[in-house]
Amino acid sequence: MNFSYSQEQQAIFDLASQILKEGTPQERLLEIERSEGPRFDPDLWAKLGQAGLLAIAVPEDYDGGGLGFVEVAGVIESIGRTTAPVPYLETVVLGGLAIAEFGSEEQKKSILPDLAAGQRILTAAIVEPEAEIEVPGVRAIGKDGGWQLDGIKSYVPCAAVAHQILVSAMTDEGPAVFLVDREAAGVTLEALSTTSRMPESKMILSGVRLEAGALLGVLGQGREIIEWIDLRANAALCNLALGCCEAALEMTAEYSKTRKQFDQPIAMFQSVAHRQADAYIDTQAVRLSALEVAWLISVGRPAHEEVAIAKHLAADAGYRVTFSAQHIHGGIGVDREYPVHRYYVYARHVELMLGGSTHHMRKLGKLIASGAA
């Protein structure tokens, strides 16, 4: 069996890698991180749009490439390798894929072509700090033929730069998902401080009025949509973690060959060599599980068990790999302006987004107990 990428897939990944590497020199990343406002590079975002990389999974009828999740995952891996300050995961996975799958024809026509061109940024507010994501804390009530939303959403990624946010809310008929404009009356965003500097916000909805057409899908379908987004988001996070691990491992291997103690490269020391070997094995485990779930989702096979396993591995192994990279670099590894530190904090952020290792082990246990695994 041939498990290699097709020529078309490899061309997409090579293009993404080239644009992201050229657009993320250390000086540019530091410039963005030292500036006020969210960690976002609009110039790099525009280049991704011009190259067609935002249009990969948009259906062809809406100016997209009509490709699958494997191609999306490959681009996200390159974003993890470069820690690029662009809301690709949020726009393409949290927003675009869901609208393409569940959106009305009007929603698709008004949003997807702009997304494909890099002119529309999306994200989703589905995290529930004190409950499962399938039980939204925001309340939605029918009013004057439309809807009114009230409540609070925590940890909304890239909300500060998004044009629209998919918000999960509870209706009398159960969970539902709504499209909310960032600048709609009654929407307030409070920037949250994160160690990785990846932008997140607290979203406060106070009497937010929406038209009937803001509902994604149909009433009664909300739980399915939320779980659908959550599955793909966690799979994408695994590929983001993979990119972080690969880049940190490569940087550490190079450093250990040039850094000397007692007139010998530290790579010659057994303890360092063993630690890097363990990091390599961990990275390969993350790679295999991340690529497996990307393929399963791309071909439409069930992947709930595999995603739970992959996210558990990405969380645990991602921490070990990036921590080892920091440790082997010694004192320079904890310098916040040295690249290897960015991989460490990125991996920790990815570890906790949409549930850490324990959360996904618990989810896997529930699947096994219910006979679904």
Query: Two tokens at 308?
Result: 């739970």
Q: Where are the beta strands (DSSP E) in the chain?
A: 122-125, 139-143, 146-157, 164-171, 174-181, 187-192, 200-210, 215-216, 260-261, 264-265
Question: What is the model's pLDDT at position 331?
Answer: 81
pLDDT at 56 exceeding the cut of 80: yes
CATH topology agreement for domains 124-219 and 223-370:
no
- What type of residue sits at position 280? Y
- Mean pLDDT lowest for which of 90-104, 135-149, 154-168, 342-356? 342-356
248 band by pLDDT with thresholds 50, 70 and 90: very high
1 band by pLDDT with thresholds 50, 70 and 90: very low
Interval 281-295 mean pLDDT: 96
Hey, which residues does 150 pair with through a beta bridge? 139
Domain coordinates of the chain in residue numbers? 7-120, 124-219, 223-370
- Which has the closest alpha carbon to 341: 350, 353, 329? 329
Helix or strand run (H / E) with residue 8: helix 7-22
- Which has the closest alpha carbon to 177: 185, 186, 169? 169
Phi, psi of 202 (to 5 degrees): -90, 130
Question: What is the model's pLDDT at position 257?
Answer: 85
Interval 194-202 mean pLDDT: 92
Q: Which CATH superfamily is domain 223-370 in?
A: Butyryl-CoA Dehydrogenase, subunit A, domain 3 (1.20.140.10)
2 band by pLDDT with thresholds 50, 70 and 90: low
Residue 144 CB-half CA count within 13 A: 5
Phi, psi of 174 (to 5 degrees): 115, -170
Query: Two tokens at 316?
Result: 């645990």
Question: What is the model's pLDDT at position 91?
Answer: 98
373 band by pLDDT with thresholds 50, 70 and 90: low
pLDDT in tens, 63-112: 999 999 999 999 999 999 999 999 999 999 999 999 999 999 999 999 99
For residues 240, 241, 242, 246, the Cα torsion angle rounded to the nearest 10 degrees is 110
d(CA 235, CA 307): 6
224 band by pLDDT with thresholds 50, 70 and 90: very high
Mean pLDDT for all residues in the chain? 93
pLDDT at 372 exceeding the cut of 70: no
Phi, psi of 34 (to 5 degrees): -85, -15
CATH no. for 124-219: 2.40.110.10
Interval 292-308 mean pLDDT: 95
Query: Two tokens at 38?
Result: 């969210």
330 band by pLDDT with thresholds 50, 70 and 90: confident
- Which has the closest alpha carbon to 58: 72, 76, 48, 38? 72
Residue 44 CB-half CA count within 13 A: 24
Question: What is the model's pLDDT at position 58?
Answer: 97
CATH no. for 7-120: 1.10.540.10
Hey, which residues does 190 pair with through a beta bridge? 202
